[in-house]
Structure 1
Amino acid sequence: METATTLASEQILQLIAIVMLAGAVFGKLSRKVNLPDVVLFILAGIILGPHVLNIVDIDKYPVGNQLILTFGAAYILYDGGREVDLKVFNKVKFTVILLATVGVFLSTLITGYFAYKIFNIELIYALLLGVIIASTDPSVLIPLFKDMKISNKLKQTIISESAFNDVAGAIITFTILGIISGGTFSLGNSIFNLLKSSIGGIVVGLLAGYVSTKLISQGRIGFLNEYPSELAIASVITAYLLSEKLGFSGFMAVFIVGMVCGNKHFINCKIHEENKITHLRFKEVLTVILRMMIFVLLGTHIDFSILLKYWSQDLLLVSVLIFISRPISAFISITLDRKAKWNFKEIVYMMWIRETGVIPAALIGMLMSMNIKNIDIIASVTFTTIIITLTFQASTAKLLAKILKLDVENIEKINKPVC
């Protein structure tokens, strides 16, 4: 007789097997039709989900779903942190901070105001909708920009923003939820919480990254130098859990772990070439698997009955986000950092790039469980935003870089900064 524990573990294994098989098939198909693989992963989830074939009903796998989304997002952020060159990041750090704070705040206000007008809902719920779709998605942007031939300065700004803006988005979200629940707004408390969450996550990430890097490095301390992949997973999980336990940003922590590991020469660490190659291969495979699982599961959440109900208003608001909110918030944030010396074409490119994915979907799942008022509207807009930005904006990222001549071969021709 099967116990409840055995049954639950078998369900999780079944979920993993189905999702990975579907991800492999649709990942192959994405190359045939020349679309971003995440779009096909979402399509696979829709087909497998309760509204089409009903093979995967995510309500039956709450633990497995949460585990995959949490660890997947955390590890992908760690992988993104590894791609950051601190020498380059130091030149654009203020741009990143401004995009992740001022940019998110402005996008929330602009999108929220239009949501208030379009859907005729209370302003506080319109602002909640605005902030949920304000942040960009590292699980899409990190793999996308790895293979693009644009300058490291531009690439790392976009990737770093996607990691840092989740913190500001989460803080504003929970602040609005507090007001909805009967609390009062305090600018001082909101800023304090943002600083505490960010700085705390940075400190935890630095400690976890430093310890794990030392343990796999050459020398007496590195007695685990043959296990870089295993230590990476352990450090990501440890940093995330410890940060969340202390009330800090777990996602910020794992991104910083990746930055430390990717810049180990700054702390005088080296690892054996053979171990390095093994780890990089393992990391690439695991990242692909996690992206498959995240976006296939994301597709199973999409309810087309809600999308059809509000489709016209959804499209209008998403257009506002893409063509008004993001350009205005990005332009103001970027031009405030004059030391970075961005040229006009680079600014235009960053005004366009903003894919929505895992973090907004996770927030929507949380709000659904809380039965928040107007959740059907918020969910409909969020999923529409995810679908459109992943298909429309992600698929045009390389083309726009080519049109603007931002590829590495042409970058030296663009040398007249506007800020």
Structure 2
Amino acid sequence: MGSTVETIAANNLILIFSTIGITGIVLGRVSEILKIPDVILYLIAGIVIGPAVLNILSIQSFPVENNLILTFGSAFILFEGGKEINLRVLNKVKISVGMLSTVGVVVSAVVVGFVSQKVFGLPIMTALLLGSVIASTDPAALIPVFKQVIIKDKIKQTVVSESAFNDAVGAILVSALLGVVSSGEFSAMDSIKELVVSAGVGILVGVVIGYVLTVFISDKKIGVFHSYAPIVSILQVALSYEIAVALGGSGYMAVFIAGLICGNKKLFGLWIPEYDFQSIHHCSENLSTMSRMAIFVILGTQVDLGVLSKYWAPALLIVLVLMFVARPLSVLVSTAFDKNCKWTFKELLFMMWVRETGVIPAALSGIIVSMKLPGYEIISSVVFMTILVTLIVQASTTKMVAKKLGVLEEEKKELSQVV
């Protein structure tokens, strides 16, 4: 009996992989032709092939496979995002990143929470829980968009770093509020302690795993595994995530920091032989693409059109408040403390516009749905409406908005050539 169950589980994983692979490569090509972000097409495809329409792929029937794909996929994309961050640039914007990742999340959660209380008539703690779930931005959505749209380094690295760090803060805020909603007790000190431990352990594990495994594939005498560089880079993701979680830290923070160390290896005097570096690059590109396909197709399959149709209008109102009130307010409050950055008004406007929502809020929403907390259907509807609207509206207009505001990197290069 056990072997039969295992065979079915293995077949399910192969079926999911095949379906996502075929859907992904076809729509990836379509997105190149239409020049729109591929994640939007993946999300819509997920809705179509999921239980809501054709019911070809029902991920809810395969919770283990679902969690495996979402967890590893988002962790790998986060690792790749970390590799693209330049530590010298990050050092210049560290105050803005720190404030956006903490104060910015709290501002968004509170604004959305109070509006949700009025709109849905929810208890204040449940409304704040809703606000906290959608308060963080999503690197799995932002990084693919920024691969297609070349933004000025300072802005790109601020927004990508914010999205990596604020996932941990958002998850901890949700965890604290879940405790309040389910038990009625709240401890500010416990929540702050949880935040510090989670972030601290994640950073420490990321630094250690990122550095040690990069040394092992470098051209140093100890770099005996450089011919296995692509496999070691995958291990960096798996080990960083698992060790951090086992020690009570943030797995997502750990993989981001490991990627950061790996991407800035020259600062630590490390060099990877050219052939092995190219092997890592090609392997990472393919895994990153597959992860992106899988995550957004799966998110699409989880959309419950029945519940969405019931709450779509008030849910849309909440999304508009998040986009046009909470996000601008959180950017203004967070960057006001960073005088050294000298943010221009156009740069701030662009940062207000890019705040796509995706994997982490969806995962947090899934936890709340599984707990069947009061108001879980409302929270689920708002989360998916936020994912749909921010991806379809904001991700697809990123290049246009960047061009209008003059924050494209290529524009800057063209100007310098003219001058």
- Scaled by the length of structure 1, the TM-score of the pair is 0.96
> Which residue of structure 2 aligns with residue 115 of structure 1?
116
Q: Which amino acid aligns with 1:171?
A: I
Deviation per CA, 1:200-248, whole angstroms, max 9, x where unpaired?
1000000000111000000210000111110011111011011111110
Q: How far off its partner does 1:345 sit?
A: 1.1
How far has the Cα of 1:409 moved from its partner? 4.9
Query: What per-residue deviation string (whole Å, max 9, x for no partner) do you get for residues 303-347 of structure 1?
Result: 111111011101111110100000001111012111222111111
Deviation for aligned residue 1:58: 1.3
Q: 1:386 to 1:320 in 2, by over 3 A?
A: same
Q: State the AA in 2 paired with 1:50.
A: P
| Secondary structure of 1:227's aligned partner | helix
Find out whether 1:301 has 2:292 as its counterpart.
Answer: no
> In structure 2, what is the Cα distance between the partners aligned to 1:345 and 1:354?
16
Q: For 1:241, what is the secondary structure of its paired residue?
A: helix
Match of 1:140 in 2: 141
Partner of 1:152: 153
Note the residue ranges of structure 1 that are not aligned, 5 or more in a row.
Answer: 415-419
Distance of 2:411 and 2:277 partners within structure 1: 32
- Quick one: structure 1 residues 202 and 155, their matched pair in 2 at CA, closer, same or farther if it must change by over 3 Å? same
Give the conservation status (yes or no) of the 8 Å contact 2:153–2:409.
no
CA distance in 1, matches of 2:30, 2:388: 18
For 1:169, give the aligned amino acid: G
Distance in structure 2 (CA, Å) of the matches to 1:184 and 1:238: 35
Residue 411 of structure 1: how far off its partner (Å): 4.6
Calculate the aligned-residue CA RMSD, in Å: 1.5
2:231 maps to 230
Give the percent of matched residue pairs that are identical in Structure 1 and Structure 2: 46
Q: Which amino acid aligns with 1:181?
A: S
In 2, Cα distance between the equivalents of 1:410 and 1:267? 32
Alpha-carbon distance in structure 1 between the residues aligned to 2:221 and 2:392: 50
Question: By how many angstroms is 1:410 displaced?
Answer: 4.7
1:301 partner amino acid: Q
Which of 221-230 and 2-11 deviates more? 2-11
Query: In the alignment, does 2:23 pair up with 1:22?
Result: yes
Moved more, 336-345 or 296-305: 336-345
CA drift of 1:183 comes to 4.5
1:377 aligns with 2:378: yes
Displacement of 1:389: 0.2
Aligned length: 414
| Alignment check: 8 A CA contact 2:97 2:162 kept | yes
Output aligned runs, 1:163-312, within 5 Å.
163-312=164-313
Q: Which runs of 5+ in 2 are unaligned?
A: none
CA separation in 1, counterparts of 2:332 and 2:76? 30
2-side partners of 1:388 and 1:219: how far apart? 49
Is residue 79 of structure 2 the alignment partner of residue 59 of structure 1? no
Match of 2:324 in 1: 323
State the shift of 1:383 in Å: 0.4
Deviations 1:364-406 (A, max 9, x none): 1111111111111001111001000001011111111110111
Secondary structure, aligned partner of 1:3: helix
Q: Which amino acid aligns with 1:153?
A: K
Deviation for aligned residue 1:38: 0.8
Distance in 1, matches of 2:295 and 2:389, equals 17
Aligned match of 1:101:
102
Moved more, 34-43 or 122-131: 34-43
The question of 1:34 aligning with 2:41 is answered no
Q: Displacement, 1:53?
A: 1.2
In the other structure, the counterpart of 2:89 is: 88
Q: In the alignment, residue 375 of structure 2 is paired with which amino acid? A: N
Q: Which amino acid aligns with 2:106?
A: F
- Point out the more displaced range, 32-41 or 232-241: 32-41
2:338 alignment partner in structure 1: 337
Superposed counterparts of 1:354-373, under 5 Å: 354-373=355-374
Q: 1:49 corresponds to which letter in structure 2?
A: G
Deviation at residue 147 of structure 1 after TM alignment = 3.3
The CA deviation at 1:413 is 12
Offset at 1:32? 3.5
Q: Which amino acid aligns with 1:303?
A: D
Residue 405, structure 1, aligned to residue 406, structure 2: yes
Structure 2: which amino acid aligns with 1:164? F
1:417 — aligned with what?
none
Runs of 4+ in structure 1 displaced over 6 angstroms? none
Residue aligning to 2:9: 8
Q: CA deviation at 1:186?
A: 2.1
Structure 2-normalised TM-score?
A: 0.96
The amino acid that maps onto 2:64 is V
SS at match of 1:354: coil
**Displacement after TM superposition at 1:180 (Å):** 1.0
1:80-134 per-residue CA deviation (whole Å, 9 max, x = no partner) reads 0000111000001111110000000000000000000111111111111101111
Q: Name the amino acid aligned to 2:294.
A: M
**Could you tell me whether the CA contact under 8 Å between 2:149 and 2:398 is conserved in 1?**
no
In 2, distance between residues paired with 1:301 and 1:321? 22
